[in-house]
Structure 1
Amino acid sequence: MATVEWVELYEETVVRKVNTRQSDHSAIYVDNELSPIRAAKRSFKFESAWLLEEGCSKLVDDAWRQSAGLAFQDRIALCGKRLSRWGGEHFRHFGNRISELRHRLDKLQEDRAPQAIEEFLAVEGELEVLTHQEEIFWKQRSKQLWLQW
């Protein structure tokens, strides 16, 4: 998709495959933004995909209850700090989990035992939720990049 000259000119470019539920084809995401010369303090960004996770609402509820009596801004800051930590830990292995589930589906696809069929349906459901979250995440990211551009 690119010439040798282009690749040499844009060495830091990252190309990712983005799976979608609506098609058996994958989108291609090309990020050719250069790394910043000096790192800026990373700000908290809420990811819409988190709304599909049970742990997210529980974490927000717990943080809000535990911060009762604090000023509103302090409550928001505490909640954001916990969400940021949770999101980083929770989604660190996000892509690995999708790969594991796809691999498991490939193995189960040939097994016709009733237990295997039940497991296949359960794994397929979990994979559908994760790929939906991934899709939301990449749509949000591409929108952010577009707005920055």
Structure 2
Amino acid sequence: MHQLEKRGRAPHPPWKINGFREAVADCGLEYFPFSGHQFTWVRSRGMSNMVEEKLDRILVTENWLSMFEGATACSLVSPYSDHLPLLVTPIFTVHSGRRKRFLFDNMWLREDKCREIVAHTWDRTVGFDVLAQIESCSRDIWRWGKVYNREFARKIEVCKSRMDLLRIRRDEDSMVEYGNTEHELLYLLEQHHQYWKQRAKEHWEDQVSQVMMSYFQDLFATDQGDMTDVLEYVAARIT
């Protein structure tokens, strides 16, 4: 899914990587990270033409993630294969049944893919009522957005690692690549800032609404105190 997931020999063509990444997103799958050695396949180990690549990975659905939020995964050592086995340990999580509220991240607007998803979903649901079309759009954007946010954080780390590698190089190509990577990192950090700025605003609004609701509930709640002193001054009368 990324060029950095291969070490040795020629890199994969960008169109292959982008095509695979888009296919995963179109299938509604998300990458599930695992600990341990990340290059799960090796060829010609110990030789000058040795190649390592992350060919094996774990892909899950949104429903699976919700069901097994505490799941972990790791790569294992195997002397019988040139692939490393991946072990997934699922931990079932019991939910209250409350559905998560759809939240739209403003930084998604900078991505052409977001507009493509809206247009594709809207065309796919032609003939539905407007509310159903909007619900379908929100569901598809939410599914894509979760993958995007996860990959977004990964991109920042990839840029930082790449800059560390290029920092000590003095050839012209490396210096140009360093400048391009730095520019990309600044762009990502700006988006990251907008993301947390929006989250902080949503958190503040949520807290304010809870305070206001609690205030009016207490204000109009029935007082269950002792009414004996008041009733003593009310004359008993049958009409």
2:186 is the alignment partner of 1:123: no
Distance 2:162 2:126 in 1: 44
The match for 2:100 is: 42
The match for 1:102 is: 160
The match for 1:82 is: 140
Name the structure with the higher helix share. 1
Shift of 1:84: 0.4
Shift of 1:109: 2.1
Shift of 1:134: 0.8
One-letter amino acid of the structure 2 residue matched with residue 134 of structure 1:
H
Larger radius of gyration: 2
CA contact (8 A) 1:52 1:133 kept: no
Correspondent of 2:192 among 108, 126, 134: 134
Distance 1:41 1:86 in 2: 18
**Over aligned residues, Cα RMSD in angstroms?**
1.8
117-126 vs 84-93, which moves further: 117-126
Report the 3-state secondary structure (helix = DSSP H, G, I; strand = E; otherwise coil) of the residue aligned with 1:92: helix
Shift of 1:40: 2.7
Residues matched between the structures, number: 113
The match for 1:66 is: 124
One-letter amino acid of the structure 2 residue matched with residue 71 of structure 1:
D
One-letter amino acid of the structure 2 residue matched with residue 88 of structure 1:
K
Q: Per chain length, whose mean CA-contact separation is higher, i.e. which structure has more relative contact order (CA < 8 Å, sep 6+)?
A: 1
Report the 3-state secondary structure (helix = DSSP H, G, I; strand = E; otherwise coil) of the residue aligned with 2:104: coil
Deviations 1:64-121 (A, max 9, x none): 2222222111111111010000001121232222112112112212222221122212
Distance 1:39 1:103 in 2: 41
The match for 1:56 is: 114
The match for 2:171 is: 113
Shift of 1:136: 0.8
1:8-27 equivalences in 2 (<5 Å): none
One-letter amino acid of the structure 2 residue matched with residue 100 of structure 1:
V
One-letter amino acid of the structure 1 residue matched with residue 139 of structure 2:
K
What TM-score, normalized to structure 1? Answer: 0.68
Shift of 1:39: 6.2
Shift of 1:38: 4.7
**Which runs of 5 or more residues in structure 1 are unaligned?**
1-36
Distance 2:118 2:180 in 1: 27
Compared with structure 1, are the counterparts of its residues 103 and 73 closer, same or farther at alpha carbon in structure 2 (3 Å cutoff)? same
